[in-house]
Amino acid sequence: MANEEAKLDTKLTQLRLTAQRTGKILDAGKRETIERHLKALQTTISETDQCK
């Protein structure tokens, strides 16, 4: 149980960090960077959902 909670906590931290970077990435306006960030965000969200 503690291991599962640790995994979820790690994924939530990754999600928070990725979300914090979103503004800067959007402001830069580079299409490839935005697409790469979007994919990373989607992957992190999916992995976080699986940990629940």
Query: What pLDDT is attached to residue 23?
Result: 94
pLDDT in the model for residue 38: 96
**How many domains are there within the chain?**
1
Model confidence at 15, in pLDDT bands (50, 70, 90)? very high
Res 9 pLDDT > 90: yes
Range of the domain at 27: 1-50
Direct distance between the N- and C-terminal alpha carbons of the chain, in angstroms, rounded to an integer: 12
3 state DSSP class of 37? helix
Residue 11 and residue 27: Cα distance in Å, rounded?
25
Residue 24: count of CB within 10 angstroms of its CB? 10
- State if pTM tops 0.85: no
- The pLDDT assigned to 51 comes to 85
pLDDT (0 to 100) of residue 16: 95
